[in-house]
Chain A
């Protein structure tokens, strides 16, 4: 008895850091729910509470991330790790298994850092503020939890978690056509969830592992004939639904085109990064051989998205939809890196996910600010507004530079790594993606020219520059983009150590004598 107690006392306490990062916003949502919100002061308290409960995970996640990246080789080791059985003794064991490593640490931290910005951008929210902010915090729980989960059941829970809050926020607080957009968003996310559900069950049952642990499920290199392909296709569908790749992009464009700017940012944060992560961490890791077999169709979809998104942005007169198309195009680059299968391209894809979420968020913030004040959607009605809104113009330029992959901003390292890692295996694909990127950059510059520059259009008196919370939110986003752009070398080494495990699994099953296949584009970054 005594030795048992002594052993229990000397055992290290369970690491609750990651659980705090995941569930602090949930506690915040509960606290907000309990607060009154009748007067301006009470609503102010609601906003401050929301900000506090998003800052807590952001600060903890940043501290943990900076500690981890100091030792790049730790990217291959899950840190910190909680692995407790949740439901045992059943056909398949479900666990509360969470941890961070080189694959998920970056998107997790970036998401945690971005949500305080979303709250800040929502500072003017007066109507139904408790409802609004509690839903926003619930979305954060789902997104951060998704990245942290290392058990498939838990991953599924967090994957589906933000669907209802996001569609409610979009439907209730969005503009014209928001109800329809919310229904489409929910339909696509739920269908994605259904695919993930069936794919995961198939994986858990047919591998004979009888566990939902992602570590155990992704241990066998090959799955029974046909099962691997089915699993990969289902998991791929789940990933594509969230990544908004063509042809599953219309919900995304509609949602971002009708949502209020902060809600659009939240939707963007919970879509492209989660989708890209699902594709790399879950789909390719679970069925590497099937991923190689089906790499060509995925590559085709990726390139189609790159070009379609760029052309869509070129022809789009609505600023918010234009930003959405830009995200679709860059999302194609994420998929391109994912089927590059090298540790460099995979790390680049994850980095690009973060850049899309942050840079796209900035574009949406600027577009929303202009549209809300001018109450017009078309670019021509805003011509020459740079003179009245120089800060918004500057922010739009930063957003464009991120999307175009200019150095010193987060977009550059992501795109660079994707192209570098994919080029040896598929130079033509990279060339097509570069062409798409050029078209996208041209579209964004053209939009900037038509919106901000030139002779001022009639009726621009309502246009005001960014100020107050909106300005602080935008500055925080720009600062984050710069940090991720400048310190990329410091972060990427850690990421590459994590993605090396996935690319190693793919390389282990890749047919060796082949001469022209994306899987052979292994590049050591």
Chain B
């Protein structure tokens, strides 16, 4: 392993080493009576176990390295691996930083919820790191096959994490559903890649951009397979909640990374593929992307309207918010990528915050709407946090997701997709109504039950950081948009 390789793939290497260390510490800790994760759960201590601390340290170090790359004066670097299959440009670095921050936040906010995964807490932390590493590879490659591999390395560990409570039937069901959904998505993507290979003789995006510039049925089919496959990976989180049983018992510590990291990676990959590889045949995918966005937006809002369980409500609204990024695709040659990147930059902390709150909120007796009646009287801080998260998920101003919607839909309107703007505004209104139903219950004067305890400090720190990002992201939308625009520049040939 050369020094140059370590320099280029330093963050990924740190993550893998961190994952291995977390696994080893977990194994050692669980053998010593009273020192393993179960021992900590018994004593009620809130300090993260050693495995999680190591994982957090690895994420922090990897983030520092990525930031170092961002600030170094360079054009895109092409590490000497597989004849330039990898590219470290600002687009990749933007996602590296975002993925690492998200992974860190996930590890923090799942600190309490991960107790239910005992004695596999260290495995959980390691799987999150491996998934993050896979996502970083997927967003930094120009080779379609490597992208599929990276995507698989992202999604499959997360499915595995869902199945860590293998003796629990519902958790196992959730894991299998997520696995099947993701596998179908990956197969579709692979099918699209194979078609493109047949048409162009290469799986490199650069070659595709040169050789695929006429729309024909083969190209259209490949584009459809890519968009649908990546779309399936995008909604893997909500899809696994199709059944009530899975929704009730899927461990949140595993559900959370699945619902955040998978869509982030899928969207990052999709944007690079369609812009850098299939930009010349935009007609093949832009309409479909807009249709999928419309379906996700309106479908999730309508389904959210009648939801009686908080988990499902949050996951559905998140699917709509992530799906909004697809609405920027028709404007990919203008300001669409910047708007989409800003959307992901603000949706990731929102997703972590809204799902991270659930374990604490569910101590009220469950996540059904009647369980949470009068939550304000029992836990004002939790209730306020949940209210802000729900309003943000519905796109309420002046929170960051509102501005994300504004930017994405402005670019969609600029690209001539006015109907999508109208539909998204309607979906936002419907989401607002769905959220109001919950808010009225949360702030109901009826108080039943005892006060709820606040989460431990690692969870609180994670939640506060994410909430601050959601609240201040709107006020700071100028600099954040500038960051997103610089991240999107490589896609536009800058």
Contact = CB atoms under 8 A, between A and B. Distances in A.
Contact of B410 (A92, A164, A191): A92
A5 to B, nearest CB: 24
A160 B436 contact: no
A344 B410 CA distance: 36
B410 A204 contact: yes
Contacts of B339: 90-91
B480 to A, nearest CB: 9
B429 A205 contact: no
A168 B439 contact: yes
B467 to A, nearest CB: 14
Interface in A195-232: 195, 197-198, 201-202, 204-205
A186 B403 CA distance: 20
Interface stretch (A81-89, A303-311, A377-385): A81-89
A399 interface: no
A353 interface: no
Nearest to B334: A91
A131 B440 contact: no
B425 interface: yes
Nearest to B412: A201
Contacts of A198: 418, 421-422, 425
B158 interface: no
B421 A171 contact: no
Contact of B335 (A90, A167, A179, A201): A90
Contact of B443 (A92, A172, A186, A195): A172
Contacts, number: 112
A185 to B, nearest CB: 9
B432 A91 contact: no
Given A87-B477, A186-B432, A201 B445 contact: no
Contacts of B396: 160, 163-164
B391 A164 contact: yes
B322 to A, nearest CB: 20
B252 to A, nearest CB: 26
Interface string A468-512: 000000000000000000000000000000000000000000000
A242 to B, nearest CB: 14
A160 B421 contact: no
B411 interface: yes
A201 B410 contact: yes
Contacts of A127: 445
B299 interface: no
A191 B397 contact: no
Contact of A85 (B398, B432, B478): B478
Interface in B396-452: 396-398, 402-403, 406-407, 409-411, 413-414, 418, 421-422, 425-426, 428-429, 432-433, 436-437, 439-440, 443-445
Interface in B354-391: 376, 384, 391
A210 to B, nearest CB: 9
Contacts of B335: 90-91
A160 B397 contact: yes
Contacts of B376: 128, 131
Given A153-B406, A157-B402, A164-B396, A205 B413 contact: yes
B485 interface: yes
A156 interface: yes
B338 interface: yes
Interface string A150-173: 000100111011011001100110
Given A90-B407, A156-B397, A183-B433, A190 B485 contact: no
Contact of A91 (B391, B414, B425, B428): B414
A378 to B, nearest CB: 27
B478 A88 contact: yes
A87 B481 contact: yes
B482 interface: yes
A215 B429 CA distance: 28
In terms of DSSP, what is the predominant structure of the interface of chain B? helix
A182 B436 contact: yes
A197 B421 CA distance: 9
A172 B445 contact: yes
A105 to B, nearest CB: 24
Contact of B414 (A87, A172, A195, A205): A205
Interface in B458-494: 477-478, 481-482, 485
Interface in A79-121: 85-92, 94
Contact of B397 (A33, A128, A161, A204): A161
Contact of B436 (A88, A94, A171, A194): A171
Contacts of B384: 33
B477 A190 contact: no
A191 B339 CA distance: 24
A417 to B, nearest CB: 34
A193 interface: yes
Contacts of B482: 89
B440 A182 contact: yes
Interface in B92-143: none
A163 B432 contact: yes
Contacts of B445: 127-128, 172
Contacts of B398: 157, 161
Interface string A7-38: 00000000000000000000000000100000
A116 B445 CA distance: 25
Contacts of A156: 397, 406
Most buried by B among A156, A171, A182, A201: A201
A44 B485 CA distance: 49
B397 A131 contact: no
30 contacts: A87-B403, A88-B478, A89-B485, A90-B485, A91-B334, A92-B410, A94-B406, A94-B478, A127-B445, A128-B376, A128-B443, A131-B376, A157-B397, A160-B402, A161-B397, A168-B436, A168-B439, A172-B445, A182-B436, A183-B433, A186-B433, A187-B429, A191-B426, A193-B425, A194-B422, A194-B425, A195-B425, A197-B409, A197-B421, A205-B414
Interface of A: 33, 85-92, 94, 127-128, 131, 153, 156-158, 160-161, 163-164, 167-168, 171-172, 179, 182-183, 186-187, 190-191, 193-195, 197-198, 201-202, 204-205
Given A90-B335, A90-B481, A91-B414, 17 more contacts: A86-B477, A87-B477, A90-B485, A92-B410, A131-B376, A157-B402, A160-B397, A161-B398, A163-B396, A164-B432, A171-B440, A182-B440, A186-B433, A190-B429, A193-B425, A205-B410, A205-B414
Which 9 interchain pairs have the tightest Cβ spacing? A194-B425, A190-B429, A91-B335, A157-B397, A171-B440, A201-B413, A190-B432, A87-B478, A197-B425
Interface of B: 334-335, 338-339, 376, 384, 391, 396-398, 402-403, 406-407, 409-411, 413-414, 418, 421-422, 425-426, 428-429, 432-433, 436-437, 439-440, 443-445, 477-478, 481-482, 485
